[in-house]
């Protein structure tokens, strides 16, 4: 069933596990993630960036594809379609198309404008039963053209945003999108603990879940993180498996060039990666 993330993350925060947010890029990715979630009885969040939305045809196309797959595959676990790093206009378009959750990324505005725009998005979303994620302190690295330098959020600003009534809060604590460099300093757990304390138990989000050591993931969950975003790791697994198929010459044998065969190894690689993350996050059998 298609739901907002609010209830699933309140439950996760209370029971000290996290729900995986896995970005989708096409039908294969969506099908692989939904099947893995159903097989492991885990709630799941399908993250869609504005770039991926455009790539797949548009907001209504994404919603239609997800709803169709859920019905045809008999998906019974809680599923959310979540706009990832949405602009103000993108969040409005996603809500109108049927996304069940949106992230308004106002982190590049000054705090006053971020608050004002977030308030407007929350008002529109609440009328539709849609959950809202807001961000304070830009997340490092680059994701689909959205670039952040990896700031550590100010807990007082996090409180100001959470007090607006957001469903979930993404706070920069040294995490970055993409691969982590060798000189990465790690997550700032002191700041995370302060943010969790002042935001009245609003579920927190950890972006850039690829490459963070397992012990850091588990500690972050213990300090209020209930949603962890994974994208790069699935992309790398998909690319490696697809490359292996082609380098082995399998696409040249028989009808190995058929896209259903060509993409099958990548499909299975995504399923394997997603299951490993669900095990790490503790969300299996929580659906």
CA angle 146, 230, 72 (to 5 degrees): 110
Question: What crossing angle do the helices spanning 214-222 and 264-281 adopt, rounded to 10°?
Answer: 50
Catalytic pick among 74, 84, 110, 154: 84
- The CA distances from residue 235 to 26, 130, 239, 270, in Å, are 12, 28, 6, 8
Q: Sign (positive/negative) of CA torsion 232, 233, 239, 242?
A: negative
84 is catalytic: yes
CB 19 within 8 A of CB 13: no
For the residues of the chain, what is the DSSP string, one character each?
A: -B--HHHHHHHHHHHT--EEEEE--SHHHHHHHHHHHHHTT--EEEEEEHHHHHHTT-HHHHHHHHHHHHHHTT--S-EEEEEEEE-HHHHHHHHHHT-SEEEE--TTS-HHHHHHHHHHHHHHHHHHT-EEEEEESPPBEEETTEEE--PBPPHHHHHHHHTTT-SEEEE-BS-BSSSPPTT-----HHHHHHHHHHTTTPPEEE---TT--HHHHHHHHHTTEEEEEE-HHHHHHHHHHHHHHHHTTGGGSTTTTSHHHHSHHHHHHHHHHHHHHHHHHT-TT--
| Residues forming beta bridges with residue 98, ordered by sequence position | none
- Active-site amino acid positions: 84
């Amino acid at each position: 069933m298609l739901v907002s993330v609010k209830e699933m993350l309140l439950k996760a925060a209370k029971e000290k596990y996290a729900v995986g947010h896995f970005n989708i890029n096409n039908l294969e990715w969506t099908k692989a993630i939904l099947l893995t979630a159903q097989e492991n009885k885990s709630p799941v969040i399908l993250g869609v960036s504005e770039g991926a939305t455009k790539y797949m045809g548009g907001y209504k196309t994404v919603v239609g594809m997800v709803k169709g797959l859920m019905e045809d595959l008999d998906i019974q676990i809680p599923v959310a379609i979540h706009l990832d790093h949405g602009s103000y206009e993108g969040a409005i378009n996603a809500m109108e198309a049927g996304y069940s959750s949106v992230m308004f990324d106002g982190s590049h505005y000054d705090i006053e404008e971020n608050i004002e725009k977030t308030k407007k998005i929350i008002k529109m979303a609440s009328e539709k039963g849609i959950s809202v994620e807001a961000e304070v302190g830009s997340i490092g690295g680059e994701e689909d053209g959205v670039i952040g330098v990896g700031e550590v959020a100010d807990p007082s600003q996090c409180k100001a945003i959470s007090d607006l009534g957001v469903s979930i809060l993404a706070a920069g604590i040294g995490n970055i999108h993409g691969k982590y460099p060798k000189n990465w300093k790690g997550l700032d757990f002191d700041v995370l603990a302060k943010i969790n304390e002042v935001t009245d138990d609003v579920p927190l989000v950890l972006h850039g879940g690829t490459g963070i050591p397992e012990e850091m993931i588990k500690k972050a969950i213990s300090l209020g993180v209930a949603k962890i975003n994974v994208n790069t790791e699935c992309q790398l697994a998909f690319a490696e498996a697809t490359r292996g198929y082609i380098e082995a010459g399998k696409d040249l044998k028989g009808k190995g060039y058929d896209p259903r065969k060509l993409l099958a190894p990548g499909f299975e690689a995504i399923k394997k990666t997603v299951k490993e993350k669900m095990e790490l996050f503790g969300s299996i059998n929580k659906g």
